[in-house]
Amino acid sequence: MHLRRPHTQRQHDDTRLLLEAGLELITEGMGESDSAPPGSMRFRWPTRAQVVRRYNDKTGLRMSKAVFEDRWATCEDYSTDLISWAMHRGQWAAHRRIAATAAAVLTDTDTFSTAARHIALADLNVLLGATSFRIKLLICAMRRVDPGMRQALADFYTAANAWWGEVYEQILGSGGLVLRPDVELHTFTMLMTALEEGLAVRFLAHPESFGHRVEEVAEALTVGALALIGGASTEKGDSTGLRAFTDARMSRQKPSPPAD
């Protein structure tokens, strides 16, 4: 973090509260942009005075801007730490709760596809409602990214791969299935994440594609996830790789020799 004295201020409650205040202000600012005139783009970082005022509202104190300046030399330092804070895995607790229950739901259901759609809708609602998701998109659009921001993103995806990877292994195992030998769990989990985030971006960019209904996004996500599971998994003991399996089904077949 870009603190003046990180060894003492990193874990201090005041530091956390100031970052939480900034994230709240960004969230509220993004909500205001929904009413902006067509064609306009508004994204305003909270000012030092706004952050301190919100901090005072949260704590009931009457601190001056010194509580901010004692930690960050510049607003740019604060903004960088704020983005990293938004990407911290603690901000994605709702996703983790969904992942923690997904295995139990999907391994004890008479209709796997219906349960999968329910989980897809719940996770999409969390994702689309998270300011941190939009901030992540902003980071990815930047040409030069602060190492702290990049590390925060990397840490999140590493953690997400770990917790969802465990879920997918349990789900497949309960059905006597395994991933095909040329499909690594890490790759499978990344594909699932990319599928959800890609559909979420498409929904934000052109909600008309889904009739302005997140339920339709969840339906598309479910279809994609089921297709991925169906192609990438096989019964235990089957060593047929995905490429060989697909080639056998899709490649042009040589004509059979004429019968004698």
- What secondary structure letter does DSSP report for 23? H
Last residue of a domain, which of 64, 85, 106? Answer: 85
Q: What is the pTM of this model?
A: 0.80
Give the pLDDT band (50/70/90) at residue 147.
confident
Q: 10 with 124, same domain? A: no
Q: Would residue 248 count as lying in a domain?
A: no
DSSP H/E element including 233: strand 233-235
Lowest mean pLDDT across 37-51, 106-120, 177-191: 37-51
Quick one: 49 exposed, middle or buried, by C-beta within 10 A (0-12, 13-18, 19+)? exposed
- Percentage of residues in the chain having pLDDT higher than 70: 91
Here the tokens at position 57 are 């509202």
pLDDT at 36: 47
- Give the Å distances, CA to CA, from 69 to 15, 78, 213: 11, 10, 44
Last residue of a domain, which of 26, 55, 85? Answer: 85
> Which residues, listed in sequence order, are joined to residue 178 by a DSSP beta bridge?
234
Q: Would residue 255 count as lying in a domain?
A: no
Q: Which residues contact 40 (CB under 8 A, 6 or more apart)?
A: none
- Give the Å distances, CA to CA, from 200 to 95, 102, 193, 197, 225: 15, 20, 11, 5, 14
Residue-range definition of the domain harbouring residue 126? 89-237
Residue 253 has pLDDT above 80, yes or no: no
Give the pLDDT band (50/70/90) at residue 241.
very high
| 3-class DSSP assignment, residue 235 | strand
User: Pick the residue with more confidence: 260 or 221?
Assistant: 221
State the Cα–Cα distance between residues 180 and 231, nearest whole angstrom. 9
Here the tokens at position 28 are 């509220």
Q: Would residue 57 count as lying in a domain?
A: yes
Q: 100 with 153, same domain? A: yes
Please list the helix, strand and coil fractions of the chain in percent, rounded to the nearest 5, in that order: 70, 0, 25
pLDDT digits (tens, 9 = 90+) for 187-237: 999 999 999 999 999 999 999 999 999 999 999 999 999 999 999 999 999
State the Cα–Cα distance between residues 157 and 153, nearest whole angstrom. 6
What is the count of structural domains for the chain?
Answer: 2
- What secondary structure letter does DSSP report for 107? T
Q: What is the largest CA-CA distance in the chain?
A: 98
State the Cα–Cα distance between residues 138 and 30, nearest whole angstrom. 13
Q: 111 with 169, same domain? A: yes
The chain-wide mean pLDDT, for the chain, equals: 88
- Percentage of residues in the chain having pLDDT higher than 90: 63
pLDDT digits (tens, 9 = 90+) for 1-31: 889 999 999 899 999 999 999 988 888 877 6
pLDDT at 38: 45
